[in-house]
Structure 1
Amino acid sequence: MKRVPMKKPSVSHGISALLISAWLTAPAGARAPVWQPYYPEQEITQIRTLPASAFPVVAEQYQANLQPLIEKVAQEYGVNRQLMNAIIKVESNYQRDAVSPKGALGLMQVMPATGSRFGFTDLLDPETNLRAGAHYLRYLTAKYGNNTALILAAYNAGEGAVARFNNRVPPYPETTEYVARIMRDLQAVATEQLAPALRQEVPSQPTEPTSHTTVYVVTDVLSKVFDVMLSSGTTNK
């Protein structure tokens, strides 16, 4: 099969990845996710989970009722609550009894082998399932150095698949769409939470900005953005 040329990432995509990484993770030293799909000579496919659309639509109230438990588990394991929510939405659409054709179970579609690996067995119990998923996310975060794209790819396709493609997002159609969809969802939430930091008061009498004024305004805005991002990452809010 002919190798498909890889498109260069856009500037906006790079900025989005940086914002998501800083927003999801704790301070200093966290690396931005690297979106580097690799295209092999032959097509490889892998299906682990059903798309969320395969599950019944969930009442908003049911989703809301799970939030206190999700927040509790996220704080306990030190992972971002919004990341957990984004994964649950795509994996099971908040169906606690969801079972995929490959045997992934529950809200976060945890494979039995993964659950057993971390000491969890009753994966159709919502709290147990959330704890298993959060434990695995914490492990993947430590392994991939806060690289959100690789964390998601490994969660979906497995650590072995990521390793086979030299620590890049595997080219499986399901996995690339899975990573892209969750990154888009996280970007939307992050943008909404960061918006207040970017709002500027418009002066009643417009003045001609100088180069120094421009530098000060940009610096102030960036400072506010990173303050909010780091706060969001450390508090899981």
Structure 2
Amino acid sequence: MTIQLQGKIALVTGSSSGIGRQIAETLAASGAAVAFHYRSGKEEAEAAAASIVQAGGKAAAFYADVTKLEEMDLMVEAVKAELGGTVDILVNNAGDLIRRVRNAEMTEEHYNQVMDVNLKSCVFLSKLVLPGMTAKGAGKIINLTSVAAHDGGGPGASIYAASKAAVIAYTKGLAKEAAPLGINANCISPGFIGQTAFHATHTSDDGRKATVAKIPLGREGTPQDVADTALFLSSSLSDYLTGETIEINGGMFMR
């Protein structure tokens, strides 16, 4: 079966590179008009969107700091104007560990930074797209969480892990509210996904090797592994699935 998303508009946050970019490109390959969001990777996002357009698809790049309500609002309105309609598929992929900070050195600034980029962005972008989805009686919201939400993360990642656990709980509540409106809300929980700036920044080579050695399927994940799941959750194949968290980790964590 080939998944077709023609006529759908997808907004993927944090999609100038890594997992977000792979998700956006995968949705575009199935026919969706795609909004590539960026905060710092302007050239990369614009290049990705241009590549889709050159191939005959519909895409554009949009800037926003997704920790700021007014910028999220402006972005959603710009997506509507540029792509010609309201968002049908929202993928809240933007997120960050920021840096590893142990609890004994925790600051309010670090706490707020991590919670804002990982949780606040999900909450308020979902709020912004809900009216359009409600008017259509359909929509897909996909929130990216992490295996850290289940095990507390590595050293100095407790607030990151807590923020990602909050994303799971928030998604369950959102799913209950949105279900009568025809809207599905689910989470994707990646494990150790290589080829990303996250692990290039926050994980040592020794840590990478030790983690991969414990993965039952014998390899680290790829952005495409995550994107394939996002494609499923964006499609009609997942119409009877809501409030769930799908683990993409090669068996390193099994619930």
TM-score, scaled relative to structure 1: 0.25
From the two aligned structures, give the one with the greater strand fraction: 2
TM-score, scaled relative to structure 2: 0.24
From the two aligned structures, give the one with the greater helix fraction: 1
Greater gyration radius: 1
